[in-house]
Structure 1
Amino acid sequence: MPHSLAEKKRALARVRRIRGQLDALESALEQGRECGPVLQQLAAVRGAVNGLMSSVLESHLREEFSRADANHGVAERSIDDVIALVRSYLR
């Protein structure tokens, strides 16, 4: 869960954009659109959800690592390493 008010607002804005993308996807399916545009919309939805997951996970990891280790430099490098791995997995 995003911890600051600004992070929460950004996450909610992303969820609302995802909802709009899903509405557009539903409409395309109802209208019997060609597969190409439907697949493109699916890819956009997947990318948006992965982006949201990455953002929330990053916030969580930063919170957890910052509490767990008093040695800030080591913890910060560890966080960056884990975030890079997770981002590469989500793409």
Structure 2
Amino acid sequence: MPETPADKKKMINRLKRAEGQLRGIQKMIADDKACADVMTQLSAVRSSIDRAMGLVVAQNLRNCFENPDADPNDQSKKLDEAINMVIKK
């Protein structure tokens, strides 16, 4: 997770924007907007969420390298978990 208060604030703001986009998409659907327009907005939300996920994983990896565990097996396990988060998509 983001470590500094500034990083946390940025992540929360990013997620709030995505939340706002989702509310906008709900309104578009309720207003019978064109399918292509809805899909464009859904794609934008997906990209935004993918980016947020990438930032969380990057912070996790950065933390693993900057603050390694004393046990190399634990360190390897944490790195594998981070990589699997990215691949799992």
- TM-score tier (shorter): 0.7 to 0.9
Q: Sequence identity of aligned pairs in percent?
A: 34
1:61 equivalent to 2:79? Answer no
Q: How many residues are matched?
A: 77
- Please give the alpha-carbon distance, in whole angstroms, between the structure 1 residues aligned to 2:17 and 2:11: 10
- Please give the alpha-carbon distance, in whole angstroms, between the structure 2 residues aligned to 1:56 and 1:11: 9
- Report the CA distance between 1:66 and its aligned residue: 1.4
Q: Superposition RMSD on alpha carbons, in Å?
A: 2.4
- Report the CA distance between 1:19 and its aligned residue: 0.7
Structure 2: runs of 5+ lacking an equivalent: 70-78
- Please give the alpha-carbon distance, in whole angstroms, between the structure 1 residues aligned to 2:21 and 2:51: 14
- Please give the alpha-carbon distance, in whole angstroms, between the structure 2 residues aligned to 1:61 and 1:9: 20
TM-score (normalised: structure 1): 0.73
Structure 1: runs of 5+ lacking an equivalent: 70-78
1:18-53 CA-partner distances (Å, limit 9, x unpaired) = 011001110011111111100001100100000110
Moved over 3 A (4+): none
